[in-house]
A and B are shown apart, each in its own frame.
Chain A
Amino acid sequence: LAKTTQPISMDSYEGQEVNITCSHNNIATNDYITWYQQFPSQGPRFIIQGYKTKVTNEVASLFIPADRKSSTLSLPRVSLSDTAVYYCLVGPRILTGGGNKLTFGTGTQLKVEL
């Protein structure tokens, strides 16, 4: 499975846009890019998923360039409640077992201040 690299931490202020970039140089043709958010003492929560170009939902946007070797999670107008760890995962959309496991890595700790 593709290895991902993302910044260990980022700081921002309320109301700003935050962009977290993830590198995945050896992404495979059938791999999707998925982002999860995790608050302390909770399990990770799905944010967004994409394959190419741009995907937007009610909480975030995901930008994926044509070569798909990186992706950027964009959080518009963050608030204190967006302080969390964000994980970038790369892998097949539907797991078929036999080693198709999703790897979380260490994630990016986002801290939002007033």
Chain B
Amino acid sequence: GAGVSQSPRYKVAKRGQDVALRCDPISGHVSLFWYQQALGQGPEFLTYFQNEAQLDKSGLPSDRFFAERPEGSVSTLKIQRTQQEDSAVYLCASSSPFGQGAFDTGELFFGEGSRLTVL
């Protein structure tokens, strides 16, 4: 597709349920990021992939959060046993191929996000 696609756009879950959020990055983009954005706050880094390798997961708030990108393209963010504090917009971003050249700005292309509401 032309841009980063995320699904579902909206998800309502009961406390304790597991949820899975999907991200389709721009074709050919090597880098993929997940961010969490609470209401009124800026996006907070969760995790970063380069191809299928998860190079940084320091932002994941607990072991209930798990992300994968098994074939280096589509990524899934999974949240187990959801809690009310998990309610937020989850943003996915992809970036142009690593080391593309001197003019690669490293610009992040974001999807529209998945809004998770935990009741």
Using a CB–CB cutoff of 8 Å, the interface residues on chain A facing chain B are: 32, 34, 36, 41-46, 49, 85, 87, 92-107
Secondary structure at chain A's binding surface: helix, strand, loop or mixed? loop
Q: Which of A42, A106, A107 contacts B112 (CB 8 A)?
A: A42
Task: Kindly provide the distance from the CB of A110 to the nearest chain B CB, expressed in whole angstroms.
Answer: 14
Tell me if B112 and A34 are in contact (CB < 8 A).
no
Residue contact A104 to B44, C-beta cutoff 8 Å: yes
- Distance in angstroms from B35 CB to nearest chain A CB is 8
Show the binding face of B for A, using Cβ within 8 Å: 4, 31, 33, 35, 41-45, 48, 50, 53, 55-56, 58-59, 91, 93, 95, 98-99, 104-113
Query: Nearest-CB distance from B114 to chain A (Å)?
Result: 11
Among B44, B48, B109, point to the contact of A97 (Cβ < 8 A): B48
Q: Do B91 and A99 touch across chains, with their CB atoms under 8 A apart?
A: no
- Give the most central of B42, B44, B105: most A CB within 10 Å: B42
By a CB distance below 8 angstroms, the chain A residues around B91 are 43-44
CB neighbours of A93 from chain B (8 A):
104-106
| Contact of A107 with B42 at beta-carbon distance under 8 Å, contacts A94-B99, A98-B55, A101-B59 already known | yes
In the complex the two chains form, is A106's CB within 8 Å of B105's CB? no
Given A43-B111, A43-B113, A101-B56, CB of A95 within 8 Å of CB of B45: no
* Closest chain A residue, CB of each to CB of B58: A99
Whether the pair A43, B107 counts as a contact (CB closer than 8 A) is no
Q: Determine the distance from Cα of A2 to Cα of B101 in the docked complex, in whole angstroms.
A: 24
CB of A3 to closest CB in B, whole Å: 13
By beta carbon, the residue of chain B nearest A85 is B42
Are A102 and B108 CB-contacts (below 8 A) given A43-B93, A44-B43, A107-B42? yes
